Amino acid sequence: MEFEGTVYKIMPVTKGTSARGEWQRQDVVFEMQDGAYARKICVTFFNRPDDVARLKEGATYTVSVNIESREYNGRWYTDIRAWRLQPKQVEAPAPMPDMPPLGDEPSYTATPAAEVDDLPF
């Protein structure tokens, strides 16, 4: 699944050691515009410190995630893990076709064109 969101808050790193070795996780809260309401989504970056280091609060990214729920002692927990992160591309505005390029000022000192008489008599 993919969504586009703005980085709302970057949480502190959590580190630990398991039977497989050392690990680290960091949660990042993204804010997503859904119509008139803003929704916040907490995404986990597991063993991806380089991805989190590139993030800037207030910047917009496209985030690809896997969503998984699991049961423990009769309660369900949902985990949202990021696996790809792309900064949003800002498009340059297209020039307006009726406008002269910036820097070209019209000449106001030019002599007016001769008056044209287009009446029938």
The string of pLDDT tens digits covering residues 31-73 is 998 888 999 999 999 999 888 999 999 999 999 999 999 999 9
41 located within any domain: yes
Q: Which domain holds residue 44?
A: 2-87
Count how many domains the chain has. 1
- Give the closest residue to 76 by CA, choosing from 88, 85, 65, 68: 68
- CA 9/CA 58 separation, integer angstroms: 9
Please state, rounded to an integer, the average pLDDT across all residues of the chain.
85
Q: For residue 39, what are the β-bridge partners?
A: 32
Q: Where residue 8 sits, what CATH number does that domain have?
A: 2.40.50.140
What is the pTM assigned to this prediction?
0.69
Residue 81, in any domain of the structure: yes
